[in-house]
């Protein structure tokens, strides 16, 4: 039994949620009507909605190709994120010399913007012969410090005795990670999957620099290309935005419970 | 973990969950849509041409324009039969316009027709109506 009624809080949250959803609704509405977004007074409900702007987008640019490229790059980034970040996160839960310094280094690196490291990243990718390839497109997203700390927080919440028991049973360190830690860190995995996917899916600058051929372009580049040669694109542009956003939103809705659990794991420790 | 979770078979837990069912439903919808498209994409456009009195107009010329990047270009022509009916069989676009004309009878407005996919087979609900003289 709560001391105070909770409905005012829920009412306020519902109101704020509606406010947050208004831009999404507006994009969706414009994508099926093509209305001028500067029209006044604005129409709240769509007038004569139709799906033909989506059809236009599908045929104006090689959408299926861009979509497949984005999926391939995001899959590589997501898998690499889970594998590499789990290993790094587990390493950071162990005691080793200069651990505090390494943690400080990680945290300080978070403050360096990607734009500052893009030239060395490009040169390294070029030396590896990965320019204009899926792996090269995914490379900078293969491990992110935020996601490493998500795994670290999740692994920190696992009782030490469990790891000791696994070690006594003869498990090697990497098997402890895969057999003991990861099954207990589903929230962290979901967080890594969603963040890795969204960051990779929405990435514009790196694919712009790394891709050489039109066949390797991803959806954000396709959007830029679409804008560059289409006039009067209001409806089609918004339809394109919906088509680009839809997979990320779907993934978040599917895994939102695990995602929130992963972000908050470790927060209530102790 | 509840007692119900323990009794659930492993295969059921692996298959009957939202991470499998939602992508599977989307995949099924995509397959059905592609089958439908392949069965209805012969590029056939069927319609009628009538005069202002609603009577069929035989011998009228129907012109099909297709969107070429940013402008509409003429793609093909067809002639109506004795019932005022025309059939175009080589439309390969999803964004077309149609107009009819018959010397001495008149011409119709250019009617935009939007299709759900390229070369979709379609029968126009409203006939092309000739008006005025040409």
- Hey, are the CB atoms on B95 and A56 less than 8 Å from each other? yes
Closest CA to B91 of B75, B113, B114: B75
pLDDT of A40 reads 82
How high is the pLDDT of residue A144?
92
pLDDT digits (tens, 9 = 90+) for A40-55: 888 888 888 999 999 9
Q: What pLDDT score does B44 carry?
A: 96
How close is the nearest chain B Cα to the Cα of A65, in Å? 16
Question: What average pLDDT score do residues A227-237 get?
Answer: 76
Which residues of B fall within a CB distance of 8 Å from A52?
Answer: 95, 114, 116
Confirm whether A39 is domain-assigned.
yes
Residue A9 included in any domain:
yes
The answer as to whether A270 is a domain residue is no
- Please state the rounded mean pLDDT for residues B66-93: 91
pTM to 2 decimal places: 0.80
Pick from B70, B115, B117: which is nearest to A231 by CB?
B70
Q: What is the ipTM of this complex?
A: 0.85
Domain co-membership, A83 together with A126: yes
In a domain, A43, yes or no: yes
Q: What is the pLDDT of residue B63?
A: 95
Q: Is A246 an interface residue toward B (CB < 8 Å)? A: no
pLDDT above 70 as % of chain B? 93
C-alpha span between A151 and A265 (Å, rounded): 9
The pLDDT value recorded for residue A9 is 92
Among B18, B22, B94, beta carbon nearest to A55 = B94
What is the structure's pLDDT at A197?
92
* Average pLDDT rounded to a whole number, residues A148-166: 91
Distance from CA of B18 to the nearest CA of A (A): 7
Measured between beta carbons, which residues in chain A are less than 8 angstroms from residue B116? 51-52, 55
Same structural domain for residues A225 and A141? Answer: yes
Residues A188-198: what's their mean pLDDT? 90
A265 pLDDT tier (thresholds 50, 70, 90): low
Q: Report pLDDT for A257.
A: 82
- For residue A258, pLDDT over 90 is answered with no
Is residue A144 located within the same domain as residue A12?
A: no
pLDDT of residue A143: 92
A100 and A131 share one domain: yes
How far is it, in rounded angstroms, from Cα A40 to Cα A234? 16
- Is the pLDDT at A133 greater than 90? The verdict is yes
pLDDT band at residue A10 under the 50/70/90 scheme: very high
Please determine, for residue A232, whether its predicted confidence score (pLDDT) is greater than 80. Answer: no
Of B18, B22, B116, the CB nearest to A55: B116
Note whether A45 and A115 are same-domain residues: no
Do A86 and A165 share a domain, yes or no?
yes
Which pLDDT band, with edges at 50, 70 and 90, does A67 fall under? Answer: very high
Taking 60 as the threshold, does the pLDDT of residue A186 lie above it? yes
State the pLDDT at residue A2. 66
Given a cut of 70, is residue A63 above it in pLDDT? yes
The confidence score (pLDDT) of residue B133 equals: 56
Looking at chain B, the whole-number percentage of residues with pLDDT higher than 90 is 72
A257 CB within 8 Å of a chain B CB: no
Give B25→chain A minimum CA distance, Å.
Answer: 13
User: Domain containing A31: what range?
Assistant: 1-50
Q: Is residue B134 predicted with pLDDT exceeding 60?
A: no
CATH code of residue A196: 1.10.3720.10
pLDDT band at A136 (very low <50, low <70, confident <90, very high): very high
Both A118 and A228 in one domain: the answer is yes
Q: Does A177 lie in the same domain as A121?
A: yes
Domain count across chain A: 2
Tokens of B94: 């999803």
What per-residue confidence (pLDDT) applies to A270?
40
Q: DSSP labels for chain A?
A: --SS-SHHHHHHHHHHHHHHHHHHHHHHHHHHH---TT-SSPPSSPSS--SHHHHHHHHHTTHHHHHHHHHHHHHHHHHHHHHHHHHHHHHHHS--TTHHHHHHHHHHHTTS-GGGGHHHHHHHHHHTT-TTSHHHHHGGGS--HHHHHHHHHHHHTS-HHHHHHHHHTT--HHHIIIIIIGGG-HHHHHHHHHHHHHHHHH--HHHHHH--SGGG--HHHHHHHHHHH-SS-HHHHHHHHHHHHHHHHHHHHHHHHHHHHHHHTTTT--
In a domain, A269, yes or no: no
Would you say residue A105 has pLDDT above 50?
A: yes
B66 interfacial to chain A (CB closer than 8 Å): no
Query: What average pLDDT does the structure give for chain A?
Result: 89
Question: What is the pLDDT, as a whole number, of residue A37?
Answer: 76
Residues A56 and A44 in one domain: no
Is residue B79 predicted with pLDDT exceeding 50? yes
Q: Does B85 contact A at CB distance below 8 Å?
A: no
Of A102 and A37, the structure prediction assigns the larger pLDDT to: A102
């Amino acid at each position: 039994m709560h001391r105070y009624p909770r409905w005012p809080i829920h009412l306020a949250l519902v109101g704020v949620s509606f406010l947050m959803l208004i831009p999404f609704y507006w994009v969706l509405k414009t994508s099926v009507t093509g209305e001028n977004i500067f029209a006044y007074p604005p129409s709240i409900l769509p007038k004569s909605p139709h799906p033909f702007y989506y059809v236009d987008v599908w045929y104006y640019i090689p959408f299926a190709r861009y979509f497949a490229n984005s999926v391939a790059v995001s899959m590589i980034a997501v898998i690499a994120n889970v594998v590499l970040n789990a290993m790094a996160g587990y390493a950071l839960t162990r005691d080793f010399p200069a651990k505090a310094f390494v943690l400080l280094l990680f945290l300080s690196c978070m403050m360096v913007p990607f734009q500052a490291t893009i030239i060395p990243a490009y040169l390294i990718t070029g030396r590896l012969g990965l320019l204009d390839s899926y792996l090269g497109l995914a490379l900078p997203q293969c491990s992110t410090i935020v996601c490493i700390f998500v795994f670290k927080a999740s692994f920190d919440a696992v009782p030490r005795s469990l790891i000791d028991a696994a070690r006594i049973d003869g498990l090697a360190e990497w098997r402890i990670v895969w057999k003991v830690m990861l099954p207990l860190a589903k929230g962290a995995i979901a967080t890594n999957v969603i963040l890795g996917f969204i960051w990779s899916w929405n990435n514009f600058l790196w694919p712009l620099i790394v891709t050489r051929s039109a066949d390797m372009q991803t959806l954000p580049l396709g959007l830029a290309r679409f804008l560059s040669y289409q006039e009067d694109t209001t409806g089609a542009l918004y339809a394109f935005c919906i088509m680009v956003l839809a997979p990320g939103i779907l993934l978040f809705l599917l895994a939102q419970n695990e995602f929130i659990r992963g972000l908050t794991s470790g927060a209530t420790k102790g | 973990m509840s007692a119900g979770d323990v009794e659930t078979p492993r295969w059921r837990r692996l298959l009957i969950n939202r991470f499998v069912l939602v992508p599977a439903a989307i995949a099924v919808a995509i397959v059905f849509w592609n089958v439908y498209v392949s069965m209805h994409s012969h590029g056939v456009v069927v319609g009628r041409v009538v005069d202002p009195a609603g009577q069929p107009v035989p011998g009228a010329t129907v012109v099909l324009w297709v969107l070429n990047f940013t402008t509409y270009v003429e793609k093909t022509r067809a002639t109506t039969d004795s019932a005022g009916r025309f059939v175009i069989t080589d439309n390969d676009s999803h964004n077309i316009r149609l107009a009819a004309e018959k010397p001495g009878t008149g011409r119709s407005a250019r009617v935009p027709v939007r299709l759900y996919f390229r070369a979709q087979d379609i029968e126009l609900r409203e006939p092309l109506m000739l008006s005025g003289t040409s």
